[in-house]
Structure 1
Amino acid sequence: MDDADWLYSDDGRQRFNASILKEFNYTIYPNDTISNFSTCVLAFGGYVPTVISNGSWYNSTGCDTPVRPIRTRGAIGVATAIIFAALLVMSLVCLSKHGKSFLPAEKRFRLVGRRWPWYWCIITSTVGLISGFCAVDVDRVWVLGTSAIFHFIFYMVSLPCCLAAIWEMSRNWGSFEERKGIDEDFFRYRQDDLRSKIEFYEPLIFYLFNFLSFFLSILRNWNTIARSNANVITDARFQASSILSFLAWMVIVVAHLIARHYYQPQKFPWKIPATILLILIRIAFNIGSAFEYSFSQLRWQATPAYIYCLGFLPVILVILVIIYSGLREPNEDQELLRFRNARNAILDQEMLAIKSPEKRKSTGKPRTIRTRRESRASAHDYWGSEEPVQKA
C-alpha cells in the first residue's frame, strides 16, 4: 500500500487505513483525535488505537477520558464542593429546627411555607456540590465531554435555585410579620384588600421569570456549548435568560419593599438586603458573559477565577447568610408563643393594678371565729333546760 492509502496523526508517528476511515466517516483532527461525531479516540503518544474492517476500535482511549493531571480549576472545584457539602448539612439542621410545629395547623399559614427556603438551600447546595466535583475532569480530559457538560449545567442551575431560596426567605419573613399581627389582632389584615391581591400575584410573577430563565439556559443541547462555540455561548437564549434572572431579582426587591410598607417591622431584616446585593454580583456576571465571549464562564479556556469568584462565591455567601440567620433565629411557633406569654403577662399586671385599689378601700376588720360564734342567736332547749343553749 502506498502513502495515499494511509492517514497520519501525531506528526506522522501513527498511521491508519484511509479507506476504512473514509468508509465510516472518521476524520483526523489537528488535536490528534479521530472522530465521526459518535465515536472519538485519542491518537497520539502512548495512545495507539487500531481500527478494524467493521469500523470499530480496540486498544483505544476515549476523548473524554481523563489523561491529564489535575489543575487549578479541579483543585478549586474540590474545595468548592466541600464547602457546599458543609452548607448542605447545615441546611438540613436548619430545616429540622424551623420545620417543626409547636402550634395547631392553620390553613392560612401552612407549615410547608416556612420549609421552602431550606428546601431551596438544600437544592442549591446539592447542585453546587455536583458541579464542583465535576470540575475536576474539565481540565484533565483532552476533549470536553460529559464532565464538562455536568459542571456547566449544574453551575447554571445554581442561580435560579439560589434566587428561589432568597425569594422564599423574603416571602416567609413577610408571612411571619402578617402572622404576628393577626395573632395580636385577628382583624388587623383583611383578605380582600390590595395587599392580599399583591401577595397573591407576586410568587406567580417571580416563578414565571425564574422558570423561563431556567428553561432558556438549561434545557437545550449542551454538546456545542462544551466545545466553547462562541456563537452558541453568546446566543439570544443565554442573553434572554440572563435578563430574566435580573427581572426575577427585581421582583424580590419590589416584594420586600411592599412587605415593609404594609407590615412596618420594628427590626430591620438585614439578611434580605444582604442576600439581594450578593446575588446581584452573580446576575451581573451572567449578563456580561452572555453578551461578551471573552468574559464567558462557559469557556473551558476561561480563567477559573471568573467562575469561582464571580459565579460560585456569591451563591455560597447567600446560602451562608441564610443559614446563619436560621441558626440564630428561633422557631416561628416558639417565637409566637413567647409573644403570647409576654402579652398575657402584661394583661395580668393590668388586672392586678385594677384590683389593688379596691382592696385598699375596705377598712373594716375581719371578725374572729369567737366573735362570730357569740353573735349567733340562742337556740331554745326543747328538753326542759332552764338556760338557753348556744348553737354549735
Structure 2
Amino acid sequence: MPIFDARDMIAFPNGDNTTDTVIGGIHFNTTVLDFFNFTLYDNGTLSNDSRCILTFEPYTPHLLFPNGSFVNNTSCYSAINPIGSRGIVGIIVACLFGLSLITVLVNLTKHGRRHLPAEKRFYPIGRRWQWYWAIFVCAAAIIGLFTGIDVDRFYLPELPLVLNVFFWFLMQMGTMALVWEAVRHWGSWMERQYIDPNPFVLQQTDKRGMFEFWLPLFFYLWLWLNFFLIVPRNWGNIELQRSPEQTLEFAIPTATDNRFKAAAFCLLICWLTTAVSLWHSIRHYEARNRGFFNRMVGGLGYMPFRFALIMPLGLSVVAYQALSAWKFDYSPLKVGTNLVAMYIGGYLPSFLIIVIQVVSGFLRQNEDLNLIRQRRMRGQELDQELGIAKKPAWWRRANGDVSTGNMRDVIMRNVREVGGGRATHANIEAAAETRAREANDAANATNANGGIEMSELGRTNSAASSVRTTGSRPPAYTRYGGKSEARRTEHAVQTVAGLLFPNATPPNQPATQPATQRGRDTAMSEDRPTNDRSQSTASGTSMTAPPMQIRSMLDV
C-alpha cells in the first residue's frame, strides 16, 4: 500500500559529495538511503513503504547507521499537532453523552425494576431493551469522539480516523435500534393494558399476534445487513488521505462505494419498519376513527408526543448516512470534513433522541406501578357499581382492630373468639352432649308420633334412631363428676363410641353369650314387629307386614 503518491517525491538535496545529502541540517549517506529504498517527499517525510520518519525540525534524526536505522527518529504517525476543531468539539459532545449515560442508567433502574410477578407474555427485559440500546449509543459515541481527538493531532492520518468512523457507524445503528425498541415497547405496553382486564380478549396466534412476532425479526435482519455492509471491509484505503491525489484515487472511491450506499438503504428500511410498527399499535390498541383525515389526526393524538420528535430525528440519521455515502465532503470519513455537517447531522440527532427518551422516562411511571394503579381504579369502579363502600383504615383502628398484619396473630385472635381447647377433652364432651340431647329428642318425638310412618326423616345419629336386631341401646349419658382426668376422658370416649357404633360389643361384656341368653334374644326377635330392619336380604313379610318406619338414614 503506497504511503504517498509518486508525484510527491523529491530528490535528495546535495551535500558535500556525491554520496552525501543534507536533510534538516543533518548529513546522511545517500548510498545507505538508496540501498534501503528510502524516498524523500515534499511534506518533509522519509519513507520506504514500511517505515516513515519525520525530517523537519525538531524531529530530524541525528544519525543514520549503515544498517538503515536512525537515531532519535520520530514516526510519521505520531500526535505532534495540537488539538484541532474536530477534537475540541468532540470532547464537548463526548462529555454531553457521558452525562446522558448517567441519566439513562437511572431510568433503567426505574423502569426496569419489577413490582409484579413476571408474565410469560410480557417479559421484563422487553421494557429494558430501549435503555440497553441507549447505553450502547452513549458508549459508542464516547469512544468514537475521544478517538477522534487524534485525527487532527496525527501528522499523517491513520488508525484514529478509522476508529472514529467505525464507532460512529455503530452509534448510527444503535440509534435506529433505540427508536425501534421505544416504538415496539410502547405497542407492547398498550397490549398489556388492553388485555389486563380480560387476558383472553386477544390471542397470540391470530394475524395480529403473528405480525408482531415476525416484525422485530424483519427489523433486525435489515439492521444486521447494515452492519455487515459497513464493518467487515478493508479500512486501509480510508487512511490514504496524505495528499490530494492519493485522496482522490483511494479514499473517495472507497468512502462512496456501493456498499455504503446499500447500507444507507438498509437503514431506511429499518426506519420504515418502525413507522409500520407504530401504525400497527395505534390501529389495534387505540380507538378507531372514521375517515382518512380523522384517523391521521387521531393517530397523532393517541401516540406519545416523544414519537413525534424521535421519528423525524431517526429519519435524519438515515438521511445523513446516505448523504455521506454520496458526498465525501460532508462525510465523517474525510480528515478535513465539514464539521458543522458532521456534528449536526451525525451526532446531534442521536443525542437529542437520548435526551427525549430520558426526559420522558423521568416523567413516566414504572409500568408495573401504573398497572397496579389501574387495577385499583377498576376495583373501585366495580365497588361503586355494586354499592360496596369500603371503610377507611382509621375505622378499624377506632373499633379496636389494631392487628399488625401478622397472620399468626390474626389466627390466634380468631381461635380465641371461637373458643379453642383440647380436642380429646372439651370438644369430645361437647359433641357427646349434643348427640345425647338429639337422641332424647328423637325418642320423645317417636313416642309422640305413635309410630306413624315416615314421622321423622332427619338423621339423629343416636341409638334410638337406628336400633339393630342384635344390638343394645347404650345407657343414657351422664357427665362424670370425678376428679380423675384420665377416667373422665376414657368415659367420654366410650360414650361417643357407643353412640357412633351401637352394634359393637360393649367393652365390659364378653364377645360370646350363653345359650340361654341367645335363646331369649331369639324369642324376642320372633315377637319383634317386622317393621325393624333385618340383616337378611330376603323380604318375605313385605306384603303382609305394615310399612317400615324409617327413623334414621342408617335404616335406609
Output the TM-score relative to the length of structure 1.
0.84
Distance (whole Å) between structure 2 residues aligned to residue 89 and residue 36 of structure 1 = 48
8 Å CA contact retained: 1:14, 1:43: no
Deviation at 1:4, TM superposition (A): 5.3
1:231 paired to 2:253? yes
**Gaps in structure 2 of 5+ consecutive residues:** 1-14, 242-250, 288-300, 390-556
Residue 60 (structure 2) pairs with residue 48 (structure 1): yes
Aligned to 1:118: 131
Within the candidate set 148, 154, 164, 2:177 is matched to: 164
| 2:197 equivalent among 178, 181, 184 | 184
Mark the structure with the bigger radius of gyration: 2
Residues 323-380 of structure 1, C-alpha deviation per residue, up to 9 Å, x if partnerless?
11111111111111111111011011111179xxxxxxxxxxxxxxxxxxxxxxxxxx
The Cα shift of 1:190 comes to 1.0
* Match of residue 360 from structure 1: none
Q: 2:310 aligns with which of 275, 281, 284?
A: 275
Cα distance between partner residues in 1 of 2:198 and 2:334: 57
Which one scores higher on RCO, CA 8 angstroms, separation ≥ 6?
Answer: 1
Q: Does 1:255 align with 2:277?
A: yes
The answer for the alignment partner of 1:348 in structure 2 is 383
Name the counterpart of 2:322: 287
Deviation at 1:6, TM superposition (A): 5.2
Aligned to 1:194: 207
Query: Residue 323 of structure 2 aligns to a residue in which SS?
Result: helix
Alignment of 1:1-392 (within 5 A): 5=19, 13=25, 16-49=28-61, 50-228=63-241, 229-264=251-286, 267-352=302-387
Q: Is the 8 A contact 2:330 2:342 kept in 1?
A: no
Name the Cα RMSD after superposition: 2.2
> Identity, % of aligned pairs?
36
Distance 2:303 2:384 in 1: 30
Please, which moves more after superposition, 111-120 or 28-37?
28-37
Deviates more, 1:116-125 or 1:235-244: 235-244
| Counterpart secondary structure, 1:28 | strand
User: 2:32·2:68 contact (CA, 8 Å) conserved in 1?
Assistant: yes
Deviation string for 1:137-164 (max 9, x for gaps)? 2111111122222112111211001111
CA shift at 1:286, angstroms? 1.3
1:18 to 1:218, Cα distance in 2 relative to 1, 3 A: farther
Q: Is the 8 A contact 2:90 2:149 kept in 1?
A: yes
Contact 1:14 1:44 in 2 (8 A): no
Q: For the residues of structure 2 that align with 1:167 and 1:192, how far apart are their CA atoms?
A: 23
Give ranges in structure 1 of 5+ residues lacking alignment: 355-392
Q: CA deviation at 1:125?
A: 0.4
Contact 1:98-1:115 within 8 A present in 2 as well: yes
Aligned with 1:139: secondary structure? helix
Residue identity opposite 2:216 in structure 1: P
Change (3 A) 1:51 1:284: farther
Residue identity matched to 1:129 = I
Tell me the SS of whatever aligns to 2:132. Answer: helix
State whether residues 5 and 17 of structure 1, in contact with CA within 8 Å, keep that contact through their aligned partners in structure 2.
yes
